[in-house]
Structure 1
């Protein structure tokens, strides 16, 4: 390798490192780096698969895919298995591999799914940092059948930079989540020490006013104020619970039991499985459970609910139901309330599925499944 070529590669690595250090959004960072990598290397096509601990891949970035791979909203890239992903999952991919036939391209040709623009092969490079593995980088060009050693070395260096950046983003997100929890705890403490105490004092003052006056109209006014203060106090306590769920450290089911008790609900629980739930999933289920139990308290016209909780190595299913008044619901129409829509969107934010069942006089049931 000449001195000039060496300086050029150092410049490429420096430029890509600057791009990787600019953002905290994984897909945006990967898209920007992939595009720049292809520009400076003269390669035409590339894509990045992020692969989770279970071996499932997702297309995180792509550039200039041929129509055979880009058609149908890139479904061919998002589904099915291929040789590079299999090698990665079998831990047979430890460095840049030169050169791998593309199973997805071969299948597209067999099925006459579209133009391949001369792309038949690609180089594959694992993305990682230390012992952590994140996925693979694939790059290629039309009719390119061989990568030189210096090309593979450059791709490995870039892949290592990408892996280090992914680890940094992951740690940053974890730090932000920790800071968010700390801020929630602070806000909950401040609400308890200030607004909660003011409402309690207002309730006592109104009660004293009822006892001190003989005027019926004034008594009614003070009674109304006391009722409002008590209602606001209940809402505030529920809000504090949402911000800082005491008992969540003892498990989600225990926390939901305590929350139901705070609302004045009697809850029957059935638990199956003993697998650990990821923190993000537990947080989502906690929020959904709160919303569901609050709805039961406000709308079901019953004080009894059932919680069914099932965990496995692949995911968790939670069901909350009541035998209350129910309501008309057609699953082919939009979900009727904002609270229920929030439950659905929270579930789907983690690639989960949400199901709502309700009929007048037959109660309401919500069921959600979140994979992990």
Structure 2
């Protein structure tokens, strides 16, 4: 390798490292680094698949894909399998590989899906940090059917940098989530020790006022203050529960049962399957269940609700249903409230599926399915 070529590769790695060191959002980082990679290497087309432990792929970034691969919102890139993903899932893709005929391109040609811009082959590089694997980087150019050894070595070095950055982002998010839980716990303690105690004292003072005065009007005023304090105390206790759910250590079903009782709801619970649910999923189910039960209390005009949770080795299904008034809703339409939108957003954040079923006079049912 010439001195100029070695200097060029070092410069490329430096530019990529600087870019990867700055970002905290996975998709933004991957999109920017892929664009930079293609620019500094002179390649033209690339895409990155993130692949989870279940082998499910996600198109996380792409650049200059030919029309045949972008048709129908890139459906061909988001669905189905291919040689590189299959080899990755079988753990037989351990280094930069030269060259792979692209099955997605071949299928697009067979289907007459559109222009392929001369792309027929691509190099594939696994993204990893140590023993942890994240997905694959694919790059190519029109009419390019071979990568030199030094090109593959450079791609592999860049892939290691990307893998390390993904690991850093993952650890940063974990640190953020841990800090968020700690802050919620602190806020719950502060509310319990200050506002909660003040409301309790106000209720006792109002009760004493009722017993001490002989004036009917004053008694009514104190009674009204006492009722308001009791209502506020109930709301405060529910808020503290939302911030710091006592009983979640015994499982999400137990916690939601206790929360329903706090809301004076009569709840029938059923749990089946394997009880080992990841903490992040359990936290999401708890927040979604809270919102669903609160909606039932506020809007359903019934105090009866049923909850079922089924967990397997790699997925969980939560269903919350009431037999209340219900409302008119057509599937695939915009959800009618912020609470329902939040439930759906929490579900989709974990690659899950959210479903709402409701009709006037037929009650409301919330279904949440989350893989893990």
1:270–1:307 contact (8 Å) kept in structure 2: yes
Report SS of the residue matched to 2:54: coil
Cα 1:145–1:299 change in 2 (3 A) is: closer
d(CA) in 2 for partners of 1:358, 1:56: 31
Q: Partner of 1:283: helix, strand, or coil?
A: helix
* Matching residue of 2:314: 314
Residue in structure 2 matched with residue 370 of structure 1 by the alignment: 370
- How far 1:359 sits from its partner (Å)? 4.1
Query: Which runs of 5 or more residues in structure 1 are unaligned?
Result: none
Report how many aligned residue pairs link the two structures: 371
Partner of 1:123: 123
The alpha-carbon distance between structure 1 residues 39 and 193, as it changes in their structure 2 partners (threshold 3 A), is same
Residue 134 of structure 1: aligned partner: 134
Aligned to 2:330: 331
- Measured after TM superposition, the shift of residue 181 of structure 1 is 0.2
Q: Which residue of 2 aligns with 1:71?
A: 71
Give SS of 1:305's match.
Answer: strand
Structure 1 partner of 2:34: 34
Take 2:116 and 2:74, find their aligned partners in 1: how far apart are those partners? 13
Structure 2 equivalent of residue 51 of structure 1: 51
Tell me the residue number matched to 1:25: 25
Report the equivalent of 1:193: 193
Deviations 1:74-133 (A, max 9, x none): 111111111111111111111111111000111111111111111100111000011101
Distance (whole Å) between structure 2 residues aligned to residue 232 and residue 35 of structure 1: 54
- Is 1:180 matched up with 2:175? no
- 2:213 aligns with 213
User: In structure 1, what is the Cα distance between the partners aligned to 2:92 and 2:146?
Assistant: 20
> Aligned equivalents of 1:143 and 1:183: distance in 2?
55
SS of corresponding position for 2:144? coil
1:270 aligns with 2:263: no
| C-alpha distance 341-44 of structure 1, shift in aligned 2 (>3 A) | closer
Spell out, residue by residue over 1:137-175, the C-alpha distance to the aligned partner (whole angstroms, 9 max, x if none): 111111111111111110000000000111111111001
> Contact between 1:329 and 1:357, CA under 8 Å: does it hold in 2?
no
Shift of 1:294: 2.1
TM-score, scaled relative to structure 2 = 0.96
Query: How far is 1:361 from its partner?
Result: 4.3
- CA 1:335–1:66: 2 relative to 1, 3 Å: closer
Q: 1:204 maps to what in 2?
A: 204
Tell me if the contact between 2:327 and 2:363 (Cα under 8 Å) persists in the aligned partners. Answer: no
Is residue 279 of structure 1 aligned with residue 266 of structure 2? Answer: no
Relative to structure 1, is the Cα distance of residues 237 and 143 closer, same or farther in structure 2, using a 3 angstrom cutoff?
same
Q: Distance in 2 between matches of 1:299 and 1:27?
A: 38
Secondary structure of the corresponding residue to residue 112 of structure 2: coil
Higher mean C-alpha deviation, range 343-352 or range 78-87: 343-352
Alignment partners' CA distance in 2, 1:64 and 1:229: 62
Is the deviation greater in 345-354 or in 31-40? 345-354
Q: 1:300 Cα deviation (Å)?
A: 3.4
- Residue aligning to 1:240: 240
CA distance in 2, matches of 1:115, 1:359: 47
Matching residue of 1:229: 229
Distance 1:292 1:23, change over 3 A: same
Runs of 5+ consecutive residues of structure 2 not aligned to the other structure: none
Per-residue CA shift, 1:53-75, capped at 9, x if unaligned? 11111111111111111222111
Q: Does 135-144 or 269-278 show the bigger shift?
A: 269-278
Residues 301 and 67 of structure 1: CA distance in aligned 2, closer, same or farther (over 3 Å): closer
Contact 2:68 2:114 in 1 (8 A): yes
- Return the TM-score normalized by structure 1: 0.96
Contact 1:305 1:320 in 2 (8 A): yes
Equivalent position SS for 1:154: helix
What is the distance in 2 between the residues matched to 1:42 and 1:234? 64
CA contact (8 A) 2:127 2:162 kept: yes
Alpha-carbon RMSD across the aligned residues, in angstroms, is 1.5
Mean Cα displacement is larger for which, 269-278 or 199-208?
269-278
Separation in structure 1 between the aligned mates of residue 39 and residue 205 of structure 2, nearest angstrom: 73
Cα offsets for 1:19-70 (capped at 9, x unmatched):
0000110011111111111111111111111011111111111111111112
**Does residue 148 of structure 2 align to residue 148 of structure 1?**
yes
Encode CA deviations 1:266-291: one digit per residue, 9 max, x unaligned: 32211110142222221111011112
